[in-house]
Amino acid sequence: MATIDKASAAERMVVTAITMAERGDDALAIHVVAASALNVLRDLIQKRGDEYVEQTLKLGAFTIAAARLRGDRISLPTNAAMEAVIENVMRGIEAGEVTQPADLIINLNADERRGMLTYIVKPYNFLKHADRDPLATLEEGDIDPDGAIAHALRALTMLSPEKELPDQIRPYLERHGLL
């Protein structure tokens, strides 16, 4: 009988979440499967000595800043703090001080890093911790299967950047204009 390592298990869960999304399955189920994969992948990334949220913020801030400098329209949700970071990154790129995401320094404590993913882990934790608060409820608006899948895909590629994504993921990436 074959064995399954944690990275392979997480990849299978990401593929399953995408398959479910392509079929139009229940959004909560998709979100929870993708968030489960993300949690495994984040742990593996951290064990390797990296920090998922920090690296994702660096890549996002650099990508948005570089796109804005090229004149590309970027319509991603941000807040005032993130806009300030993007403005600083744009100045750094223009000055030649920032040439890649690794040049950025992100100072977040553990609570701030966890807070960045609250919207992804909230539905997962809602189900996981039923024993702590059996009467708790979840708002439909807290369910974001595409956000959970996007983070799980980012973590999957971050963990194994040299590995090609499974073919089952392609239709999802095409549908979302990510190829």
Rounded to 10 degrees, what is the CA torsion of 68, 69, 71, 76? -10
Residue 74 pLDDT: 74
pLDDT band at 168 (very low <50, low <70, confident <90, very high): confident
| Distance (Å, whole) CA 91 – CA 73 | 18
Cβ atoms of residues 178 and 169 within 8 Å: no
Percent of the chain with pLDDT over 70: 97
> What DSSP designation does 102 have?
G
Q: Residue 4: left if φ>0, alpha if ψ -120 to 50, beta else—which one?
A: beta
Give the pair of three-digit tokens for residue 158.
């971050």
In the chain, the largest separation of any two C-alpha atoms, in whole Å, equals: 57
Give the pair of three-digit tokens for residue 120.
């992804």
DSSP helix/strand/coil, 98:
coil
Least-confidence region, from 39-48, 54-63, 74-83, 137-146: 74-83
115: number of Cβ within 10 Å? 12
Whole-structure pTM value: 0.83
Mean pLDDT throughout 16-38? Answer: 96
Give the pair of three-digit tokens for residue 6.
């944690």
Phi, psi of 65 (to 5 degrees): -60, -45
Residue 48 pLDDT: 93
